[in-house]
Amino acid sequence: MSAFLDMGGYAAYVWPSYAVTLAVIALNIVWAQRLLKRSRKEALRRLTIGGTEA
């Protein structure tokens, strides 16, 4: 296990690379869901003010 974590001496480069990439993946999930939620909330608000019927 410690050999795995050591990454043949490259641990200081390999693990931060994976951490940054996985963080970017996680952030993208959060950002996308937040955008959709906010758009829904704003659309609902517009509805209550009264939009144009089509």
Partner 1 sequence: MAWTWFHRLASPPHIYRVAGRLTPWLAWPAAALIVAGLIGGLVLAPPDYQQGDGYRIIYVHAPSAWMSLLVYSTMAVAAAIGLIWRMKVAHAVAASCAPIGASFTFAALVTGSLWGAPMWGTYWQWDPRLTSELILLFLYFGYMGLRSAFDDVQRADRVSAVLAVVGVVNVPIIHYSVTWWNSLHQAPSVMRLGEPTMPPSMLVPLLMMLLGFTLFFGALLLVRVRGEVLSRERTASWIREALQP
Which residues of this chain interact with partner 1, rule CB under 8 A? Answer: 4, 7-10, 13-14, 16-18, 20-22, 24-25, 27-29, 31-33, 35-40, 42-44, 46-47, 50-54
2/4 with CB nearer partner 1: 4
Name residue 35's amino acid: L
DSSP code for 54: -
Residue 11 near residue 5, CB atoms below 8 Å = yes
DSSP code for 7: G
Query: Smallest distance from the beta carbon of 14 to partner 1, in angstroms?
Result: 5
Query: Smallest distance from the beta carbon of 54 to partner 1, in angstroms?
Result: 4
Place of tokens 């951490």: 19
